[in-house]
Amino acid sequence: MFLAGAVGALVVIAAAFYFAGAFDGDDDAEAKPSPAAKVSKKPLPAGVECSGTDCTGKDPETMGCGGEYARTTATIRVGTSTVEVRYSKTCESAWARITQAADGDTIEIAAPGAKKQLSTVGTTPDTDAYTAMVAVKKAGDAKACATVQAATEGCTP
């Protein structure tokens, strides 16, 4: 009777380990993270839709990179317009903004290894414009240039 009880207890313990996955023969696979887990990107704050190269060519406002996640890192005056480099550390991206501009004025943002992004002020009453983003590791990697009325040109340092 004692032997039957001991065998029954062992069967119950073995069944518990089996259903818990302890005997699935793939212990090493569970202990090591998959390669995909190692290259996962950092989590983004709510409302932010991209980071780094995923942001290149995209609208900073639509992607959630503006507002509290952006700051002006360089400013110059070109004619009567103000030209800024806007940078988001969260999005690892920069864009150019021009204010007090006129119809036909252009603004561009450039960074090493990235395609320049260009925007032109339209015929709307709005005298501001901004470019799409370029991926940058640090704010100083981006340079904004503007061409305003009377072909006056200027760039941030």
Can you tell me the distance from the alpha carbon of 51 to that of 48, in angstroms, rounded to the nearest whole number? 8
Using a cut of 0.75, tell me whether the model's pTM lies above it.
no
40 or 53, greater pLDDT: 53
Task: Report yes or no: 63 and 133 within 8 Å, Cβ to Cβ.
Answer: yes
Can you tell me the distance from the alpha carbon of 63 to that of 48, in angstroms, rounded to the nearest whole number? 6
The residue ranges of every structural domain in the chain are 2-38, 52-155
Can you tell me the distance from the alpha carbon of 70 to that of 86, in angstroms, rounded to the nearest whole number? 6
Question: pLDDT tens across 84-101, in order?
Answer: 999 999 999 999 999 999
Question: pLDDT tens across 93-152, in order?
Answer: 999 999 999 999 999 999 998 999 999 998 667 789 999 999 999 999 999 999 998 678
Predicted local distance difference test score (pLDDT) of residue 126: 77
